A = this chain, B = another copy of it.
Amino acid sequence: MPTIKDVAKAAGVSIKTVSRVINDNSEVADETRHHVQQVIKELGYQPSVVARSLVRGKSNTIGVVIPLSARYIFSHLFFSEVLRGIAEVLADHSLDLLVHLGQDNTPYVELYLQRRVDGLIMMSIPVDDLNLEGLLESAAPCVFTCRILDEHNSTNWVDVDFLGGIAQSVEHLLDLGHERIGLLAGRSNLVSVHLRVEGYRQALDKRQISVLDGLVLYDEFSFAAGQRLVNKLMGQDEPPTGIICGDDMMALGAIQGLRDMGYTVPEDVSVIGFDDIVLAKFSTPTLTTVRQDAYNKGHVAAKTLVSLMSTSPCPEPTQIILPTELVIRDSTTRAGER
């Protein structure tokens, strides 16, 4: 592959002149410019981004880190939606996108320390992530697509309103006359799961309803987990008449599990999901759920990172909570309908 030197030689000009042409900034005589452009085309020359990165001191690349421990999100449409939101913003700024599955043994902050990326977007980091500390200690521009535990409150993040979304779900069920409400929360090592539980608590407290033991269960976000947990939940002395799930796949699993046990949804038990995946609209019954806009999450996170990187000195931490919306469909109804 030709280099700038080859072009210079072939065009009979200096390297610097070629450099000027390809960066079309400084003044070059029109004649020279055209001639050089001609030679460039003939040779099929393309400047090496690697050499440019070295001399310019930046890679023009953003890393998106997906902890392997959160690998389940890979089988979530959620993931590709967030990624799409990120990718479109980066494209607008001519930034490249490096996707990194974080093996726990290689601290992902190295991506930055090795000048491979200029900034990082972290997806769904669990609270017990081993490499998080190293990242926060570094000067790496970084935005999380989820809240993290952070005593200094100094991280940038974009997240949806899990607390409010779940609280609204609880209120919806209470309004329908449900008094015993179960929560299938998700993995307990995620901040978002804690927030879900907190939203559940607050909504019940507000109506002076006591939070009962055994009505909040934890497991991974999956159809299978929904099926599993619902068995536990309904096996209790006084089973709930309404169940709120950490995400839609869990909710669909819960519905299936309930059906297998002989319950009818929503007549016997109302079920609410979270996310509003495509499926939610088409399941039987259609799923009442809390909508979050994953594309927008990625979009906003990327925007935040880009502005973070172009601003100096480092601005105040940006912490954005995106709204959710309760979408009421057919999986919820008044208590005691049957």
Q: Which residues of A contact B (CB under 8 A)?
A: 1, 44, 46-51, 53-54, 59, 61, 71, 74-77, 79-81, 83-84, 87-88, 91, 96-101, 103, 110, 113-116, 223, 249, 252, 256, 278-279, 282-284
19 further interface pairs, Cβ-Cβ under 8 Å (given A87-B99, A284-B284) = A47-B114, A48-B54, A48-B114, A50-B50, A50-B115, A50-B116, A74-B83, A75-B84, A75-B278, A76-B80, A79-B80, A96-B116, A97-B98, A98-B98, A98-B99, A99-B99, A223-B278, A256-B282, A282-B283
**Is the CB–CB distance between A80 and B88 below 8 Å?**
no
Number of copies: 2
Expressed in whole angstroms, the Cα–Cα distance for A94 and B45 within the complex equals 29
Expressed in whole angstroms, the Cα–Cα distance for A46 and B282 within the complex equals 51
**Is the CB–CB distance between B54 and A110 below 8 Å?**
no
Q: Please list 29 pairs of residues, one from A and one from B, whose beta carbons are closer than 8 Å in the complex, sorted by A's number.
A: A1-B113, A1-B115, A46-B110, A46-B114, A47-B114, A48-B114, A49-B115, A49-B116, A50-B53, A50-B54, A50-B115, A50-B116, A51-B54, A51-B115, A61-B98, A71-B84, A74-B80, A74-B81, A74-B83, A75-B77, A75-B81, A77-B77, A79-B80, A87-B101, A91-B101, A96-B116, A97-B98, A99-B99, A256-B282
**Is the CB–CB distance between A88 and B115 below 8 Å?**
no
Q: Give chain B residues whose Cβ lies under 8 Å from the Cβ of A50.
A: 50, 53-54, 59, 115-116
With known contacts A53-B50, A223-B278, A282-B252, A101–B113 Cβ distance under 8 A: no
Interface SS majority for chain A? helix
| Chain B residue at minimal CB-CB distance from A45 | B113
**Is the CB–CB distance between B116 and A88 below 8 Å?**
no
With both chains docked as a complex, state the minimum distance between the C-beta of A220 and any C-beta of chain B, in angstroms.
14
